[in-house]
Amino acid sequence: MQREIVDAARRGDHEAFEVLASAAGDRLYAIATLILRDRQRAEDAVQEALVNAWRELPRLRDPDRFDAWLRRLVVNACADEGRYQRRWSTEVRMMRSEPTTEDGASALADRDQLERGFSRLKPEQRTVVVLHFYVGLAVPEIAETLGIPAGTVKSRLHYATASLRAALEADARGAIPTNEHTITTKEHTA
Amino acid sequence: MSREPSVDERISAWLLEEAPDQLPARVLAATFERTRAKRQGRPLLGWTSVSMFRTTTALFAAGAATVLIVVAANLLPRANPSIAGPSPTAGASSSASPPAVVGPSATPKAEVSTSPVAQSLKLTWSKVALDGHSPTVAWLGDRFVLVDRQSGGVRTSPDGASWHLLQPGDPDPGYAELLRGSFATWQNDVIGWWNPEDGPDYTNKPPVTARDILRIVRPSAAPTVTTPFKGRIGSIGIGPAGIVAFVASHVDFDAWVASKLGANWVSHYTGVDFDGVTLRIGMDNGPGLKVVWADEGFEPGDYLYTGFGWYSPDGEQWTAIPPDLPPSPDGGAKFAAGFGGDVVGVSDGFIARGDTPEDTCPLSGGCGEMWHSADGVIWRNLGKPAGDSSDGSVLLPWMGGALVTDGVGRFDFWTSQGHTELPMAAEVRTALKQPTPGIPNGIGTGPLGLVRVLKDDKAIFVTRDGIDWDIQPMTAAMAADQTSFYGTPDVVVGDRSVLVVLWSGTSEAPIPSLWRGTLEP
């Protein structure tokens, strides 16, 4: 069914394209928001990706690849957003809702730690985390989406995951540190 | 009893929770307002309409007479390559300057030449039986080497047609290890690298990853060297001037701070500042730390995002490339090797595409500017690669210089003297351009020339010299073997034939097939 709609959109059918875009919009917005950590810029990225999709759709050779192709466009649009910004802000925090799970306190702690760890990641690391853990892509699929070697994907994923793990473990270990630390072999900066 | 969720599951759950549910309707409305006012691009021409297109020497002379690269395939003696490069100020099509000819150890000199007599570029393809499902193929000096990474079986062939299964006692410089991971070659020199931690589980690593292992075969500097390196290697260039390695090691600072100060300190560090010798860790709850980097067993390249490189004449003694070089006299950017950068050996040193410290690498691949170094340590800015995007772009050694492609149809040839675009008819490039950049396609360079396999277009580009091109369709049988969306063809170019590994199946269960192309007489 989707293939027929994609075919129609490729031939210039606006309504068909709008059906496709409407169906994909929420998913693309989620990906862009997670990568960019900013809903306004995510909206811009999704809009750019969809406009590009409309313009380039006749060049899409295989309609069955539409979803993967659209995902690639939105990731590229996020990269463009990052370039315009020069550096991606690490200070921007997401709006949070109250926990809804039974184990609300634990989830909240996870959230705080993960949010802190995630906001420290570089945008390219966030991208692989989102594509792997949210979209569910395997390493070769991420490599194909981003146009980078699989080894680079692994490397970014490893670093990002280790950072997030460390953030979670830091929370699990408990006590709040004092202002005195125990390293004696290192010189304090002024 | 419920199981404690794994870290991966907690990350997934958090992302699901963080993701917004709905794209605001106004965004779609604004989008559709734009798309309704915008015409679509033209559909691609099928390859059949441009098949067998060839920029003949005559066409080249008439329409692109000012293009500067003039190279004859038969001017490529293996022991002493002599290549033609562009004028120092060469543009793609608008200079009358003669080309420069670069020798392996001499200052490039200008020389005018004419295009060689056109030779057939038509490849005839046949399928080669393939054992195993994890093939790595390379052209090493004078032979194809085929290694199955699962079984460790090694076969060699001078032409890709007749294969010899390596037996105990056969001369073997350690092919299986050389081709176990990544590798780079220059004539008969080969350097391979891999990491003992590489494997399916890449998420449970210590703060500092295991060091890469290098295996180097340089016939003039026998014996073979196998040695741990100083980190994780991003790219290696090997050439007559030696070896340059860019590293991309990553220290997990959260884990490292936790190991030194305790886990609770992780949330208090505010950032790190690295000056090449010491690391300063800022804390929001007290004075920061100043750490002598080497005392912790770290190498400079273990610090992410500054980039770092090493030079060695022999693969054993390594000299650090100074990071954050001052701006070049021509006002170019600073050079940072390492993350996002790549390097190849050329006949008069090395050419690299390096990131700039002020920039972050774009999400979709390579970045930065082009650089040349005669000694592997001091680098000179050559300018930016052409095009507004490097998505899907690759840097390859070719004819003593470096070839940069945009992932589709543009090919720029770089030497220490500058660069020029190889002549490709614009209409061919347009017709074959794929929907978006970033789709890897197979490409290989070697003594026979340059071969590019466009998997979506089911087309194959062939050129011996960058001047005469042939574009031919894959045969139906080849096209049937390249159906995997996620499989990129591997292209290996020898002196008489070309081997291509195509991929079908799924990303979880890829199926390789091996094809051999030979030039028609």
So what's the pLDDT on residue A107? 58
CB B300 within 8 A of CB B317: no
- Say whether A167 and B267 touch across the interface (CB within 8 A): yes
- Say whether B22 and A29 touch across the interface (CB within 8 A): yes
pLDDT at A6 over 60: yes
Residues 116-155 of B with CB under 8 A from A: none
Instruction: Find the CB nearest A181 among B22, B32, B286.
Output: B286
Q: Could you give the percent of chain B with pLDDT greater than 70?
A: 64
So what's the pLDDT on residue B220? 60
Specify the DSSP class assigned to residue B407: S
Pair of tokens at residue B138 = 């390379």
Instruction: Find the CB nearest A133 among B12, B207, B267.
Output: B12
- Say whether A134 and B19 touch across the interface (CB within 8 A): yes
pLDDT band at residue B71 under the 50/70/90 scheme: very low
So what's the pLDDT on residue B68? 29
Number of other CB atoms surrounding residue B65 within 10 Å: 10
- Say whether A34 and B15 touch across the interface (CB within 8 A): yes
Tens of pLDDT, residues B296-342: 777 777 765 456 789 999 888 898 887 655 544 444 455 666 545 78
Pair of tokens at residue A32 = 């862009």
Neighbour-count burial of B33, counting CB atoms closer than 10 A to its CB (0-12 exposed, 13-18 middle, 19+ buried): exposed
Pair of tokens at residue B124 = 């005839």
Average pLDDT over residues B489-515: 90
Gap between the terminal Cα atoms of chain B: 73
Residues 243-282 of B with CB under 8 A from A: 248, 250, 252-255, 258, 260-268, 280
Tens of pLDDT, residues B360-381: 444 444 456 788 999 998 888 8
Minimum mean pLDDT range among B143-157, B270-284, B449-463: B270-284
Measured CA to CA in angstroms, residue B114 lies from B99, B103, B305, B419 at distances of 11, 18, 45, 19
* Rounded (10°) CA dihedral B125, B128, B130, B136: -50
Token pair 């195509």 is found at B502
Exposure string for B397-423, b = 16+ CB within 10 A, e = fewer: bbbbbbbbbbbbbbbbbbbbbbbbbbb
Q: What is the layout of strands, in order, in the sheet containing B411-415?
A: B394-398, B401-405, B411-415, B418-421
d(CA B124, nearest CA chain A) in Å: 26
Token pair 């393809």 is found at B125
For chain A, say whether B396 makes contact (Cβ under 8 Å): no
Which ipTM score applies to this complex?
0.79
Please report how the helices B25-36 and A14-36 are oriented relative to each other, as an axis angle in degrees rounded to 10.
130
Give A75's contacts in chain B (Cβ within 8 Å): 363-364
Residues 287-306 of B with CB under 8 A from A: 287-292, 304-305
Cα–Cα distance, A68 to A53 (Å, whole number) = 12
Cα–Cα distance, B53 to A101 (Å, whole number) = 63
pLDDT at B438 over 80: no
In total, the C-beta contacts within 8 angstroms joining chain A to chain B are 272
- Say whether B12 and A134 touch across the interface (CB within 8 A): yes
Q: What is the layout of strands, in order, in the sheet containing B109-110?
A: B83-85, B100-102, B109-110
For chain B, say whether A25 makes contact (Cβ under 8 Å): yes
pLDDT at B59 over 70: no
For chain B, say whether A133 makes contact (Cβ under 8 Å): yes
CB B291 within 8 A of CB A186: yes
pLDDT band at residue B57 under the 50/70/90 scheme: very low
Q: What is the layout of strands, in order, in the sheet containing B349-354?
A: B342-346, B349-354, B369-373, B380-383
Residues 36-65 of A with CB under 8 A from B: 39, 43, 46-47, 50-52, 54-62, 65
pLDDT band at residue B407 under the 50/70/90 scheme: low
pLDDT band at residue B433 under the 50/70/90 scheme: low
Give A49's contacts in chain B (Cβ within 8 Å): none
pLDDT band at residue B221 under the 50/70/90 scheme: low
Cα–Cα distance, B363 to A12 (Å, whole number) = 30
Q: Which residue of A has its CA nearest to B438?
A: A147
So what's the pLDDT on residue B76? 28
For chain A, say whether B407 makes contact (Cβ under 8 Å): yes
pLDDT band at residue B431 under the 50/70/90 scheme: low
pLDDT band at residue B281 under the 50/70/90 scheme: confident
Give B342's contacts in chain A (Cβ within 8 Å): none
Of residues B364, B366, B363, B362, the one with CA closest to residue B352: B366
Pair of tokens at residue B162 = 């007749």
Q: Which residue of A has its CA nearest to B251?
A: A159
d(CA A2, nearest CA chain B) in Å: 18
Give B19's contacts in chain A (Cβ within 8 Å): 30-31, 33-34, 134
Instruction: Find the CB nearest B255 among A76, A94, A166.
Output: A166
pLDDT at B203 over 50: no
* Rounded (10°) CA dihedral A105, A109, A110, A115: 130
So what's the pLDDT on residue B160? 94
Tens of pLDDT, residues B11-36: 888 999 889 989 999 999 999 988 88
φ, ψ of residue B230 to 5 degrees: the values are: -95, 15
DSSP string, B377-405: SS-EEEEPPSSS--BT-EEEEETTEEEEE
- Spell out the residues 6+ positions from residue B176 whose beta carbon is closer than 8 angstroms to its own: B147, B152, B154
- The sign one gets for the Cα dihedral B123, B128, B132, B133 is positive
So what's the pLDDT on residue A171? 52
Backbone torsion region of residue B383, taken as left when φ is above 0, otherwise alpha when ψ lies between -120 and 50, otherwise beta? left
d(CA B285, nearest CA chain A) in Å: 6
Higher pLDDT, B384 or B252: B384
- Say whether B258 and A174 touch across the interface (CB within 8 A): no
pLDDT band at residue A29 under the 50/70/90 scheme: very high
**Furthest C-alpha separation in chain B:** 81
**Furthest C-alpha separation in chain A:** 70
So what's the pLDDT on residue B392? 55
DSSP string, B108-152: -EE----PPPP---PEEEEEE---SS-EEEEEETTEEEEEETTT-
Higher pLDDT, B4 or B311: B311
Tens of pLDDT, residues B264-275: 776 776 666 666
pLDDT band at residue B106 under the 50/70/90 scheme: very low
Mean pLDDT computed over every residue of chain B: 72
- The sign one gets for the Cα dihedral A90, A94, A99, A100 is negative
pLDDT at A66 over 80: yes
Higher pLDDT, B98 or A43: A43
Pair of tokens at residue B118 = 């056109």
